Structure formats: structure tokens, C-alpha cells
């Protein structure tokens, strides 16, 4: 098992996946890691729907495509370098549906105060992403399908009290990605007050 800091420094958003299946035991490892995240009052409001069915994955992928083509691409076009935009475009118009597994992450609104709900679910998503990386899987945190929350919830049968908050494709990466590019801590951290250098 790789060192935690090696995993943190190598976790990337993967948008293209090989056809290799992902065994249930591996998915369970990833999900178990997700469940060890902190949450408000330890209520653990996360819900995971593991989608393998090809037709259902295609329909979730269509939600991504519709959101991308319906305005998200225009928003990103002026903000991303051309190569990254092309990669995101490929992922949004077909890559997600090509993942052998899609995890729809829901938040049980009856378990946690509304102000703490996302803060009680997204640490579990981060654990999921890191565990996938540690096990050699590619993954990505996607929110584009949330442009159609009712459709997404209906596709995977979420009850009214469970709100979809993220979609995570999982699979063997179609290609290796280099290390993520990050700004140094000195550009993002402040001592005592904003603007006081680290």
C-alpha cells in the first residue's frame, strides 16, 4: 500500500477508463474507506449507489453531456487551457459512461442539520477518491449531473429524503496521468490574517 502522502500527491481526475472490470471486493474497500470520514455528530449521512448496469451508466453519462453542452462548456472554455478543455470535453461527452462503475453519492437530509450536510458528506467523497488512487483506480469528483437532480435521483431510485450531491466514476485509468500541478503552500496560506505571508 502506498504512503498516504504519495497518494495525496498523485490523486488526479480521470475521465477515461479501460474496459477492465472492477471487482466488488475492491469497490467495497473504496466504500469502506469513505465511511471512515468524519461527519457532524457522527451521523454518517452518506449514501452510495454503485451503478454497473451499462444502460444506466449511459443515462447518467447523458446527464453529464446535457449539462456540459447546455452551458458548462461555454463557462469553462475561457477558463481552461485548450488541452485540459479537450480532455474535459471528452470526459463530459462520453468518458463518464465509459467507466465500469459509477458511484452516485447521496446525502440523507434527515440525518444532519442542512448547514452541516455537505460538510458531512464531502469528506467521505475525498476518502473515496484517495482510496481509489491507492488501489490503482482512476476516479473523478463530478457535479455536472447535479444540474438535473430529480432525474439523477429517479435514475438510481433515491428516496425524497436523500439528495444526490456527487457522482464518482471508478475504473482502471485508460492512460497514466502525471502528478497534479499545484500552487505552493506559500501562495495559499496566511499567518493569522489574510495577506500575512506564510
Check residue 80 and give its pLDDT.
84
**Own/partner pairs for 33-39, CB < 8 Å, 24+ apart?**
33/127, 33/128, 33/130, 33/131, 34/124, 34/125, 34/127, 34/128, 34/131, 35/124, 35/127, 36/127, 37/123, 37/124, 37/126, 37/127, 38/120, 38/123, 39/112, 39/120, 39/121, 39/123, 39/124
pLDDT of residue 89: 80
Note the pTM of the prediction, 2 decimals.
0.93
pLDDT of 175 reads 85
Query: What Å distances lie between residue 152 and 7, 61, 113, 164, CA to CA?
Result: 30, 10, 23, 7
Query: Which residue ranges form the domains of the chain, and what is each CATH number?
Result: 4-176 (3.40.109.10)
- Helix, strand, or coil here: 39? coil
Contact 145, 155 (CB under 8 A): no
pLDDT by 10-residue block (mean), the chain, 198 residues: 86 90 97 98 97 96 90 84 82 84 97 92 98 96 94 97 97 87 92 93
**CA pair distance 5, 143, nearest whole angstrom:** 26
Quick one: pLDDT at residue 86? 82
Cα–Cα nearest to 104, from 17, 169, 28? 169
Amino acid at each position: 500500500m502506498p504512503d498516504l502522502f504519495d497518494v495525496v500527491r498523485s490523486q488526479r481526475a480521470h475521465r477515461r477508463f479501460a474496459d477492465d472490470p472492477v471487482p466488488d471486493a475492491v469497490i467495497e474497500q473504496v466504500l469502506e474507506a469513505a465511511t471512515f470520514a468524519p461527519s457532524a455528530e457522527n451521523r454518517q449521512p452518506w449514501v452510495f449507489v454503485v451503478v454497473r448496469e451499462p444502460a444506466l451508466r449511459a443515462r447518467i453519462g447523458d446527464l453529464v453531456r446535457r449539462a456540459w453542452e447546455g452551458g458548462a462548456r461555454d463557462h469553462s472554455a475561457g477558463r481552461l487551457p485548450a488541452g485540459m478543455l479537450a480532455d474535459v470535453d471528452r470526459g463530459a461527452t462520453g468518458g463518464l459512461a465509459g467507466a465500469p462503475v459509477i458511484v452516485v453519492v447521496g446525502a440523507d437530509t434527515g440525518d444532519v442539520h442542512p448547514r452541516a450536510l455537505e460538510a458531512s458528506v464531502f469528506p467521505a467523497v475525498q476518502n473515496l477518491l484517495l482510496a481509489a488512487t491507492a488501489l490503482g483506480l482512476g476516479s473523478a469528483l463530478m457535479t455536472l449531473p447535479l444540474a438535473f437532480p430529480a432525474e439523477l435521483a429517479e435514475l438510481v431510485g433515491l428516496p425524497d429524503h436523500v439528495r444526490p450531491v456527487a457522482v464518482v466514476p471508478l475504473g482502471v485509468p485508460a492512460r497514466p496521468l502525471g502528478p497534479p500541478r499545484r500552487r505552493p503552500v506559500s501562495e495559499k496560506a496566511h499567518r493569522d490574517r489574510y495577506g500575512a505571508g506564510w
